[in-house]
A and B are shown apart, each in its own frame.
Chain A
Amino acid sequence: MTTTPAPARKKKRSAALGKDARTQAELHLMLLPGTVSMLVFGIVPLFGLLIAFKDFRPIMGFDGIFTAPWNNLAHFRVIFNSPQFWPMMRNTLGINLLGQAVSITATILFALLLNGLRSARVKSFVQTVAYMPHFLSWVVFGGLCINLLSPDGSVINNVLVALGLTKGPILFLADPDYFWGVAIFTGLAKDLGWGAILYLAAIAGIDPLLYEAATIDGASRWQRMRHITIPGIMPTIMIMLIFAIAGMLNNNFTQIYVLQNVLNKPASQVIDTYVYEVGLQQFQFGVGLAISLMKSVFAVLLLVIANYGSSRLTDSGLF
């Protein structure tokens, strides 16, 4: 993650080289476009967070961030008193936590099975095909899922009815009870193959001698997986868990927004869609910002906690 310093001796040798003003000027010139971009589009918007504490009106424009009067946390009171607040938190956490549990487990399992294939050609074919949904946009993939799940004459409902699993077609997208499941499983279908890349790379990094030795000692396929593969990919699993925890409040807006409709809103309104709705559709900038600010603060806290927990438990963390 962070840059590792070059060994001291090496550093000394090249220390004189490149320290001259001309080289430095060239380097900083090369860094300039990116720096300007980060300052303008990354740092300047951070000042906008002040609006969370201010009586800001859209008509004030950007300068209003600084000139608007303070308002004693009025926006935070609006949020906590809103009847939408708790359902929204429930949806955000529910979709994320269940979704991550399902997708991390399934992805690891898929990577292990893929690794268990004997033929390299089959493996690479399955991989290429499984990547495909990742390269479709959520508009297209989500739109197709809506079609496939549609109650009138769609494939999935036809199959369910034909198998006698349900009496009539299920209103997957109109009934709020199904929304979490729809969000979780469409997310899984889209990124299962892609997510496996990481685990496959980790598995490829395990010393093959370990497997050989274990096989000679009579370890079964299951034992080899349990005692060699799983410990070998543990650091990767930990990193994925850290990010799952840190991103707990962060829904995939692009996915949820495509699947959302008026009828499933009780189950599909999450923080990100709420911010868009109150902020950019109703122009209550202060309320929208207050909630994004809370979200960011929690996300950083969660990241630190998850990382701390992971380095205590398994010696592998991010920082």
Chain B
Amino acid sequence: MVQSKSLGERAFRIANMLVMLLVVVVSLYPFYYALINSMNTGVQVMKGFSALWPEDFSMQAWKTVLSDQAVSKAFFITLARTVIVTVASTLLTSMFAYAYSRTYLTGKRFYTVLGFVCMYFSGGVIPYFLLISKLGLYDKFMVYILPSLFGGFYNVIIFNTNFKALPDSLFESAKLDGATEFNMYWKILMPLSKPVLAALCVFTAVGIWNDYTTTLYYTQSPDLQTLQYFILKLVHSYNATEQLANNAMANSAAVASTLNNSRLGTGVVNSKTIELAAMVLASLPMIAIYPFAQKHFVQGVLLGSVKG
């Protein structure tokens, strides 16, 4: 009896470890794959992608990407909008949430209704596009900043829940001592809310850094390209020619190989290795920051389930 139980238990543990191993491999492999193939020569990638390590090592693709004007411009646009929006929206949203969380706020209902209407109803991209054009933001850097300055009512709810956990007496005594509301927000609330601030900062930064739709919808100038949009264009043009090449393969090997050459280019560096190097470059900052805020994520996500 005891024996069979421990046997079943052991079988479960082994099976469980195998599942975990599988999840780890599936999670890490795509990124690892990009990394090793970006360190391959273009010629090698043409023959076939490496699966485990770079079969013909070369840093040429990385040198090309890092010295490319368009990439560095896109990198700085992305970095600038991420930093500005993350800082500004965390401040404005937490300030809004502080005032909203005060029990003595009059007219709270107005803000609640406004917030929920904005959260649940949206006009979609088309009215937004018209509004952006009307405001003169179309194809301007500001289109990345102004509409995102406020983090949205959803984040207010997350802050609000966390702020409520702080004892009222803290604020009451400060208030009796004549502290202004802004002072209470800045000097009492903010220092006590570091975990939720950290989580929301990371969520905001990741959301902005990884966004490509703003560029796709509301800009056209190459000067305003973000890193993600830059990669999207590479992925799409590659994808399109690849599908054509596959179709051509059935009919004519010659056409297929011409298409293959045109889509990848030949040489030490080709569009594929550049694409992969750019992907790694575009992912590294976010991969580097999230583990630091990880233990605070639960606070941000618990209510996160509520987002529609």
Using a CB–CB distance below 8 Å, which chain A residues touch chain B? 1-3, 6, 10-11, 14-15, 17-19, 23-24, 26-28, 30-31, 33-35, 37-49, 51, 61-65, 110, 113-114, 116-118, 122, 126-133, 135-148, 150-155, 158, 171, 173-174, 189, 192-193, 197-198, 201, 220-221, 236, 239-240, 243, 246-247, 250, 253-254, 257-258, 261-263, 275-276, 279-280, 285, 288-289, 292, 295-296, 299-300, 303, 318
CB-defined contacts of A114 to chain B, threshold 8 Å: 20
Taking a contact as CB atoms under 8 Å apart, the answer to whether A140 and B121 are in contact is no
Question: Which B residues are in CB contact (< 8 Å) with A201?
Answer: 298, 301-302
0 or 1 for each of B129-140: is its CB under 8 Å from A? (1 = yes)? 111011000000
Expressed in whole angstroms, the minimum distance between the Cβ of B143 and any Cβ of chain A is 11
- Nearest A residue to B183, CB-CB: A26
Q: With an 8 A cutoff between CB atoms, is B53 at the interface?
A: no
Give the CA-CA distance A292 to B125 in the complex, in Å. 9
Q: Which of B20, B150, B290 contacts A38 (CB 8 A)?
A: B150
Distance between Cα atoms of A41 and B89 in the complex (Å): 14
Chain A residues, CB < 8 A from B102: 18, 27
Q: Which residue of A lies closest to B106 (CB)?
A: A24
B191 interfacial contact with A, CB 8 Å: no
- Across the interface, which residues of B come within 8 angstroms of A197, CB to CB? 297-298, 301
**Residue of A at shortest CB range from B21?**
A126
Given contacts A135-B286, A137-B209, A137-B228, 12 further A-B contacts (CB under 8 A): A43-B118, A48-B123, A132-B27, A135-B206, A139-B210, A143-B279, A198-B302, A221-B8, A236-B305, A247-B308, A275-B126, A289-B124
Q: Which residues of B contact A6 (CB under 8 A)?
A: 103
In angstroms, Cα B235 to Cα A269, docked, is 18
Look across to chain A and name the residue whose beta carbon is closest to the beta carbon of B97.
Answer: A34
Asked whether any CB of chain A lies closer than 8 Å to the CB of B165, the reply is no
Tell me whether A136 and B181 are in contact (CB under 8 A).
no
Least CB separation from A171: chain B residue: B246
We find that the number of chain B residues with CB closer than 8 angstroms to chain A is: 112
State how many angstroms separate the Cβ of A146 from the closest Cβ of chain B.
6
Query: A198-B305, A221-B9 given as contacts; is B105 within 8 A of A27 (CB)?
Result: yes
Contact between B106 and A26, CB atoms less than 8 A apart: no
Q: For the complex, is B85 an interface residue (Cβ under 8 Å from A)?
A: no
Contact with A along B106-130 (1 / 0, CB 8 A): 1100011011011011111111111
- Interface residues of B, dominant DSSP: helix
Q: Is B49 an interface residue (CB 8 A)?
A: yes
Inter-chain CB contacts under 8 Å: number: 320
Q: Is the CB of A38 within 8 A of B126?
A: no
Q: Identify B28's interface contact among A17, A28, A129, A288, CB under 8 A.
A: A129
Residues from chain B with a CB closer than 8 A to the CB of A153 are 47-49
Contact of A48 among B47, B130, B279, B306 (CB under 8 A): B130
Q: Mark B7-26, 1 if CB is under 8 A from A, else 0.
A: 01100110010011001101
- 8 Å CB contact of A35 from B114, B129, B275, B279: B114
Candidates A34, A137, A140; contact of B92 at CB < 8 Å: A34
**B residues within 8 A CB of A116?**
12, 16
- Closest Cβ–Cβ distance, residue A287 to chain B (whole Å): 10
List residues 247-303 of chain B with CB under 8 A from any CB of chain A. 247, 260, 275-276, 279, 282-283, 286-287, 290-291, 294, 297-298, 301-302
Residues in chain B near residue A280, CB distance under 8 A? 125-126, 129, 217
- Give every chain A residue within 8 A of B95 (Cβ-Cβ): 30, 33-34
Name the residue of chain A whose CB is nearest to the CB of B205: A135
B153 at the interface (CB under 8 A from A): yes
Q: How far, in angstroms, from A116 to B9 measured CA to CA in the complex?
A: 11
Q: Contacts of B114 on A, CB cut-off 8 Å?
A: 35, 38-39, 42-43
Q: Does B156 contact A (CB under 8 A)?
A: yes
Give A319 to B231 CA distance when docked, in angstroms.
Answer: 42
Cα of A296 to Cα of B305 in the assembled complex, Å = 19
Complex A-B, nearest 3 residue pairs according to Cβ-Cβ distance, in ascending order = A48-B127, A153-B48, A42-B118
B36 to chain A, nearest CB (A): 11
Instruction: Check A11 against B103 for contact (C-beta < 8 Å).
Output: yes
Q: Is B98 at the interface (CB under 8 A from chain A)?
A: yes
Q: How far is the CA of A161 from the CA of B105 in the complex (A)?
A: 66
Q: How long is the Cα–Cα vector from A46 to B114 in the complex, in angstroms?
A: 12
What are the residues of chain A within 8 A of B306 when measuring CB–CB? 1, 239, 243, 318
Q: How far is the CA of A131 from the CA of B8 in the complex (A)?
A: 30
Given A30-B181, A31-B111, A143-B231, A10-B118 contact (CB < 8 Å)? no
Tell me the minimal C-beta distance from A51 to chain B in angstroms.
Answer: 7
B147 on the A face (CB < 8 A): yes
Selected contact of A131 from candidates B19, B104, B209, B294, CB within 8 Å: B294
User: Are B298 and A47 touching (Cβ within 8 A)?
Assistant: no
Query: Looking at the complex, which of B56-64, B65-73, B236-244 is the stretch in contact with chain A?
Result: B236-244
